[in-house]
Amino acid sequence: MGTITFVSQDGTAHDVELVDGESLMDLATSNGVPGIDGDCGGEAACGTCHVIVDDEWIARTGTRSDEESQMIEMSPECAANSRLSCQLRATPALDGLRVHLPEFQM
Ligand code: FES
């Protein structure tokens, strides 16, 4: 169906199969992507699923909600394109998406 790539701090790329309707956090944890914990199970309440979306993709992923912002802005690594991956739904339009992992999760 497609691929989403999570890029670790050291540049290692982790490709996972895109599953329509799944959150990026679920895709990462079910595929063993290191650095995505998802401790709250996707409730936007822990901040352990932080990713930074490539600039070229932000128009397609959309920007974060106020609820997301409140959580993610507590991270010292918060960037303009930071998202909680549990709040990002995979769709076929995101085939090829690249997101970057922060050095540390909260
Ligand atoms: S899994 Fe907890 S904020 Fe995303």
48 alpha carbon – ligand 1 mean position (Å): 6
94 alpha carbon – ligand 1 mean position (Å): 20
Closest CA relative to residue 49, chosen from 29, 66, 32: 29
- Whether 73 lines ligand 1, by a CB cut-off of 6 Å, is no
| Closest ligand 1 atom to Cα of 71 | 3
Phi and psi, residue 6, nearest 5°: -105, 125
Q: How many domains does the chain have?
A: 1
- Tell whether 105 is covered by a domain: no
- Tell whether 71 is covered by a domain: yes
- Tell whether 48 is covered by a domain: yes
- Whether 47 lines ligand 1, by a CB cut-off of 6 Å, is yes
- Tell whether 82 is covered by a domain: yes
Token readout for 102 is 């922060």
- Tell whether 19 is covered by a domain: yes
- Tell whether 106 is covered by a domain: no
- Res 89: pLDDT: 96
- Res 85: pLDDT: 98
Closest CA relative to residue 97, chosen from 59, 53, 31, 65: 53
- Res 99: pLDDT: 98
- Res 6: pLDDT: 98
- Whether 23 lines ligand 1, by a CB cut-off of 6 Å, is no
- Tell whether 13 is covered by a domain: yes
Going residue by residue through the chain (106 aa), what tens digit of pLDDT does each one get?
A: 899 999 999 999 999 999 999 999 999 999 999 999 999 999 999 999 999 999 999 999 998 999 999 999 999 999 999 999 999 999 999 999 999 999 988 7
The neighbour count for residue 103, using CB atoms within 10 Å, is 10
- Whether 44 lines ligand 1, by a CB cut-off of 6 Å, is yes
CATH number of 94's domain: 3.10.20.30
Domain of 15 in residue numbering reads as 3-100
Task: Give the whole-angstrom CA distance, residue 38 versus residue 28.
Answer: 9
